[in-house]
Structure 1
Amino acid sequence: MLPSLSSPTTCRAMAVWLKISLITALLPCSGIALAEVDRIDVGNFSEGQLDQWNTKVFTGKTDYALVPDDGRQVLRADSRASASGLYREIAIDLKQTPLLNWSWKVNDLLTGNNERHKAGDDYPARLYVVFSGGLRFWRTRAINYVWSSNQPAGSEWPNAFTSNARMIAVRGSRGLQDQWVQEQRDVLADYRRLFGEDPGEIAAVALMTDTDNTGLSARAWYGDIWFSAAPEAGD
């Protein structure tokens, strides 16, 4: 816990300053002990667990609901010219569990938007990993893993609102709509490449389906989310 940053006024000021983040303003205001384990579950949607996730609304409210799909329970997101997301405050030590695992599906892509500009910063699906700056809240950073509508898979670029957040198009602008896709990212390696240094601890994970800038509609589904240890050499 960092008392000097725990006041509502400080947190709100941080939120305005770092507009793009769902939870950047809240992260340095909490502290959670790290566990020495090989797997850390973040989103257990298949077990109907959503109570540890909080809502952050920017423009309108994206509807999130647990629903059955493909023989399991998942989180469905419906956005209609709206931008709100879910976040969970959780401390992750990437030296222990650097691999982020999740699955997702989108029904369609957005059209007519340039995701590299503020007016086009909408995504049918995105997953945030947010790193606490500690007392130096201005160093709070985020990696956005996105399902891009117009950038090819593998593209990387600074967020349209701040250089403290970087975007990675895990899935690109062609194909795979209405198909579940399982993902795994080495977040530690991604952070080192994007920011040129080692990260602090992860403070939170967030997800969002947003269409407020384009005024369009999007539907996405999110499966379970967890961090895991890297395999031993020779495994």
Structure 2
Amino acid sequence: MASLDDGWEPLEFPNITQLSHYELISENGSRVVKAETSGGASGLITRLDIEPESSPILAWRWKVSNVFKKGDARNKAGDDYPARIYIAFEFEPEKAGFFERAKRKTVEVLFGEKLPGNALNYIWANTLPEGEFIANPYTDKTVMIAVNSGSGNVGEWVAIERDIVADYRQAFGENPPPIRGIAIMSDSDNTGEQASAWYGDISLSKAKKD
């Protein structure tokens, strides 16, 4: 990510006034994003329109200062993560009920913004075992995937690669629609804890052929 102004914009949420802080820094000659969260929540998002099959491999590296003692992906009170990457997919109205379609239309009319559909959240979890898939406690439209768990690698850079298509199929039982956005987020509004995180080298690429 060359610049926070280059395709990335703030991702904020209704009724959350305390925001996480993001800045572009240099570490060992590399440009990375440092995030700090202290009882708040917000992120950075880049808007996309990509067919997942064309670029199914998401790669990045990240580092965290600590995990949250109260963090627990299984309940709302613990739904905080020192680091997460959020993949938002296109909303598919033909698969939604009447009330969901109506709610989304209201948001579009009032705010001029379309809500995404299903989402994958790659998280640095506290108690959720690494490799576990679990529905978000607020909505089953978002599935949490623990790619790191616990404090074993705290303070160290960890490189991750994920096959988005394979993960979506496992999470939702079908092929994914187009990707509409990728976000980074460090949040602590539920637990009230503090953490710093570093994100670097986020990329989408085609899967390598055997």
> What's the TM-score bracket when you normalise by the shorter of the two chains?
0.7 to 0.9
Aligned to 1:121: 79
Aligned to 2:107: none
Q: Distance in 1 between matches of 2:6 and 2:55?
A: 23
Q: SS where residue 129 of structure 2 aligns?
A: coil
Q: Deviations over 1:33-69 (max 9, x none)?
A: xxxxxxxxxxx2xx33533111122321100000111
Pair 1:140-2:117 in alignment? yes
Aligned to 1:184: 161
Aligned to 1:50: 5
* Residues 15-164 of structure 1 aligned to structure 2 (within 5 Å): 44=1, 47-58=2-13, 59=16, 60-136=18-94, 138=100, 140-164=117-141
Q: Which residue identity lines up with residue 197 of structure 2 in the other structure? A: A
- Report the CA distance shift for 1:176/1:140 in structure 2 as closer, same or farther (over 3 A): same
Q: Give the CA deviation at 1:134.
A: 4.4
Q: SS where residue 154 of structure 2 aligns?
A: coil
RMSD between superposed Cα atoms in Å: 1.5
Q: SS where residue 167 of structure 2 aligns?
A: helix
User: Structure 1: any 5+ residue segments left out of the alignment?
Assistant: 1-43
Q: Give the CA deviation at 1:74.
A: 0.4
Pair 1:197-2:197 in alignment? no
Q: Which residue identity lines up with residue 181 of structure 1 in the other structure? A: V
Q: Distance in 2 between matches of 1:89 and 1:70?
A: 29
- Report the CA distance shift for 1:232/1:114 in structure 2 as closer, same or farther (over 3 A): closer
Q: Distance in 2 between matches of 1:127 and 1:113?
A: 16
Q: Which residue identity lines up with residue 51 of structure 1 in the other structure? A: D
Pair 1:221-2:198 in alignment? yes
Q: Distance in 2 between matches of 1:144 and 1:224?
A: 18
Q: Distance in 1 between matches of 2:93 and 2:172?
A: 19
Q: SS where residue 168 of structure 1 aligns?
A: strand
User: Structure 2: any 5+ residue segments left out of the alignment?
Assistant: 101-115
Q: Give the CA deviation at 1:118.
A: 0.8
Q: SS where residue 188 of structure 1 aligns?
A: helix
Q: Distance in 2 between matches of 1:113 and 1:90?
A: 30
Q: Which residue identity lines up with residue 86 of structure 1 in the other structure? A: L
Contact 2:125 2:148 in 1 (8 A): yes
Q: Distance in 1 between matches of 2:147 and 2:184?
A: 14
Count the aligned residue pairs: 188
Contact 2:134 2:143 in 1 (8 A): yes
Q: Give the CA deviation at 1:232.
A: 1.6
Q: SS where residue 189 of structure 1 aligns?
A: helix
Q: What is the TM-score normalised by the length of structure 1?
A: 0.76
Aligned to 1:166: 143
Bigger RCO (CA 8 Å, 6+ sep)? 2
Q: SS where residue 42 of structure 2 aligns?
A: strand
